[in-house]
Amino acid sequence: MSDCLFCKIISGEIPSNKVYEDETVYAFRDIAPQAPTHILVIPKEHISGCNGVTVDNSAVVAHIFAVIPQIAQAEGLTGGYRVVSNCGPDAGQTVPHLHFHILGGKQLTLEMA
């Protein structure tokens, strides 16, 4: 999508700090990290968010969850990490392109609301 921030990051129009890329997935460091390690994993296909996942495109979500442990291992997150996807304004989603936050590198608190 031409006006999507994360589509522009995938295309290289907007610079990013890439940590992983393959045919279907792109991962990069969050510009405003909430933990020592804060990485965003996104599908290259534009999907608006969790509500945009369907039976036809959900294979990319399975692939993302196969890639996440590889990234966590490469980042040395041996003590564990959190995966978060905010869906919609009440959850604080600010970029309407499906993304999964990987947060780690410290003892995380359980602030969920």
Closest to 102 measured CA to CA, from 88, 87, 81: 81
Binding of ligand AMP at residue 2 (CB under 6 A)? no
The residue within the footprint of ligand AMP, chosen from 23, 32, 55, 78 (CB under 6 A), is: 32
Binding of ligand AMP at residue 31 (CB under 6 A)? yes
CA distances from 59 to 36, 69, 89, 111 (A): 30, 17, 25, 30
Interacting span for ligand AMP (CB under 6 A) from 54-62, 75-83, 85-93, 105-113: 85-93
User: ∠ at Cα 89 (103, 39), nearest 5°?
Assistant: 20
99 is catalytic: yes
User: Please, which residue, 28 or 81, has the CB nearer to ligand AMP?
Assistant: 28
Binding of ligand AMP at residue 95 (CB under 6 A)? yes
* Count of residues near ligand AMP by CB under 6 A: 13
What is the binding site for ligand AMP (CB under 6 A)?
5, 14, 16, 28, 30-32, 40, 86, 92-95
